[in-house]
């Protein structure tokens, strides 16, 4: 099983996270931000990842530190669970509609982090999550996972756009991490 368990404890947050890349979409998530929990549950369910996150932090300040540190921890856990990356598909994409919204995600597990994010939110908050922290979460995750991700969402409803993004990313990542061969999928011989 490709799984990892990490903790991250700072003066701002205390996070325990476990992921199984070969899971069945079971999740147990408590970040203290209900809408963020909903997004992470959607990511796990549609990515077929088993994901457990228990987090406490300085939410009386705002949600920034929690969202950032979970992105850091999840990205680090993904790369740890991938191990030597032998046999993975490496590239994948997905498109997810949600009512009027449409999101797409393209993933390259390249060892090089880069995020292209093209989604605009009309409201400063979605539930208890600051809208700009949707992008910041993905920046933190991709940087620490060493993956290249392109995300795009269109539509009118902020909830729909955000949820479609998390679902599309989960599906694309599931497809990219699946084992399809035995070697390293790179002309360089390393990822």
- Tokens 């950032």 -> residue: 68
Q: Which of 166, 172, 161 is nearest to 71 (CA)?
A: 166
Per-residue pLDDT at 187? 84
190 found inside a domain:
no
Residue 120 lies in a domain: yes
Q: Dihedrals φ, ψ of 32, to 5°?
A: 85, 0
Question: Tens-digit pLDDT profile for the chain (191 aa)?
Answer: 899 999 999 999 999 999 999 999 999 999 999 999 999 999 999 999 999 999 999 999 999 999 999 999 999 999 999 999 999 999 999 999 999 999 999 999 999 999 999 999 999 999 999 999 999 999 999 999 999 999 999 999 999 999 999 999 999 999 999 999 999 888 888 88
Q: Please indicate, yes or no, if residue 7 is contained in any of the structural domains.
A: yes
Position 183 in a domain:
no
Measure the CA dihedral 147/17/47/142, to 10°: -20
Number of compact structural domains in the chain: 1
The span from the CA of 54 to the CA of 131, in Å, is: 22
Q: Which residues of 73-82 are buried (b: 16+ CB within 10 A; e: fewer)?
A: bbbbbbbebb
50 lies in some domain: yes
- Which pLDDT does position 188 carry in this prediction? 86
Q: Report yes or no on 150 lying in a domain.
A: yes
pTM value > 0.85: yes
> Does residue 85 fall inside a structural domain?
yes
- The CATH code of the domain that includes 117 is 3.30.230.40
pLDDT one-digit tens code per residue, 37-91: 999 999 999 999 999 999 999 999 999 999 999 999 999 999 999 999 999 999 9
> How much is the pLDDT for 39?
98
Q: Within a domain: residue 184?
A: no
Domain holding 9, by residue range, is 3-177
């Amino acid at each position: 099983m490709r799984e990892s368990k990490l903790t991250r404890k700072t003066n701002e947050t205390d996070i325990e996270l476990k992921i199984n890349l070969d899971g069945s979409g079971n999740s147990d998530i408590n970040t203290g931000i209900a809408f963020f929990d909903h997004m992470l549950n959607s990511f796990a369910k549609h990515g077929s990842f088993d994901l457990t996150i228990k987090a406490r932090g300085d939410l009386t300040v705002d949600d920034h530190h929690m969202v950032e540190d979970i992105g850091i921890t999840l990205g680090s856990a993904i790369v740890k669970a991938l191990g030597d990356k032998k046999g993975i598909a490496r590239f994948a994409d997905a498109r997810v509609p949600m009512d009027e919204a449409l999101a797409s995600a393209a993933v390259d597990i390249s060892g090089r982090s880069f995020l292209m994010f093209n989604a605009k939110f009309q409201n400063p908050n979605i539930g208890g999550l600051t809208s700009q922290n949707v992008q910041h979460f993905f920046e933190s995750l991709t940087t620490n996972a060493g993956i290249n991700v392109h995300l795009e969402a269109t539509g009118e409803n902020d909830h729909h756009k955000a949820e479609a993004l998390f679902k599309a990313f989960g599906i694309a990542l599931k497809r990219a991490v699946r084992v399809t061969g035995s070697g390293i999928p790179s002309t360089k011989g390393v990822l």
